[in-house]
Amino acid sequence: MSTLHTLHPSPDATTAPTTIGVDIGGTKIAAGVVNASGTILATVRRPTPARDTGEVVTTIVALIDELLSGPGAPGDVGAIGIGAAGFVDSTRSTVLFAPNLAWRDEPLRRAIEDRCGLPAVVENDANAAAWGEFRFGAARGADSAVVITVGTGIGGGVILDHQLVRGGHGVAAEIGHLTVDRRGRRCGCGRRGCLEAYASGRALVREAKEIAATSPHHAVRLLTLAGGDPDRITGPQVTQAAREGDPAALECFREIGDWLGAGMADLAAVLDPAMFVLAGGVSETGDLLLRPARAAFLESLTAPTHRPVAEVRLATLGNAAGIIGAADLARTH
């Protein structure tokens, strides 16, 4: 059943037709009709089919058909934007590599256009979410921004001079795989020392488990929430314990915030954005992450007293950013 969402309209809204945004996740696929103001008019979602790439396309088409034919469906949908995790080629048509869906050189745009009869654009999901925050969320009004998605892993998107930076091959802004320690922790990508290995939700939990196992007297509340077993500690438990003042949980947030802030300073040295926006599940912990990340950013930044310093904000669109961004990219592309 479609549900109504209301967001703040963009001041630069146009009279362009509504578009559909699709956000493909590892566990669910969500789609929505979005108007030119960034307001989601209706949404639908279904579980992501496990290990069946053909069925994923069928599910996307079914969601689009439901939005186009459901009660109160708009009659002026002009295009479809799709956000998919993985590498998307420079033409915004083929998913070169999607680790969670086993897509390899998948001609997704052609498949959707052939079956839905509307023009489509395919974009990396983190890029789509970053564009949503830039156009209608926390970075609205800025001319440049780096949006960092801090969840189980780390992703992101870069906008410079009002343009989404995709790189020469379409796979730019893999922020989570900046090398911060060449001989450091093993990352899920197979390399060592990636930012993701130190500043992600996975890193937060690993740090909490290590502290609770080696210094249980320092993690009393955290261990209580986990039933006394460090191996059972979860991300939400670390957040709850930190909010209740558990010193070990607070130390974990300081640790990943420190790595994240240092990574932001490196990005600022190369890109000089006007703003950093922290998005994703871990960012929803608010000041627990924002405060140490901002402090580490300022501490690590070259000559911070002699240059304009980028703002650091929390994202505002939440899980809707991917749908809104994908739909707007379809409209503007």
pLDDT for 221 equals: 96
Tell me the C-alpha distance between 295 and 64, whole Å: 44
Return the structure tokens found at 225.
């929430």
pLDDT of residue 21: 98
Q: Do domains 19-134+319-332 and 143-315 have the same CATH topology?
A: yes
Boundaries of every domain in the chain: 19-134+319-332, 143-315
Cα distances from 262 to residues 151, 178, 258, 311, in angstroms, run 18, 11, 6, 15
Task: Summarize pLDDT for 72-82 with one digit per residue, the tens.
Answer: 667 789 999 99
pLDDT tens per residue across all 333 residues of the chain: 333 333 333 334 344 589 999 999 878 999 999 999 999 999 999 999 867 888 999 999 999 999 998 766 677 899 999 999 889 999 999 999 887 777 899 999 999 999 999 999 999 999 999 999 999 999 999 999 999 999 989 999 999 999 999 999 999 999 999 999 999 999 988 899 999 999 999 999 999 999 999 999 999 999 999 999 999 999 999 999 999 999 999 999 999 999 999 999 999 999 999 999 999 988 889 999 999 999 999 999 999 999 999 999 999 999 999 999 999 999 987
- What does the alpha-carbon distance between residue 257 and residue 264 come to, in Å, rounded to a whole number? 10
Q: Which CATH number fits domain 19-134+319-332: 3.10.20.590, 3.40.50.300, 3.30.420.40, 1.10.10.10?
A: 3.30.420.40
Question: Where does residue 267 rank: exposed (0-12), middle (13-18), buried (19+ CB within 10 A)?
Answer: buried
Domain 143-315: CATH superfamily is ATPase, nucleotide binding domain (3.30.420.40)
Q: Which two tokens stand for residue 262?
A: 């240092």
> Could you tell me how far CA 333 lies from the centroid of its own chain?
21
pTM of the model: 0.90
Where do we find the tokens 């240092």? 262
Residues sharing a CB contact under 8 Å with residue 48, sequence separation 6 or more, in sequence order: 24, 25, 26, 27, 28, 29, 56, 59, 101
> Each residue of 145-189: pLDDT tens digit?
999 999 989 999 999 999 999 999 999 999 999 999 999 999 988
State residue 50's pLDDT score: 67
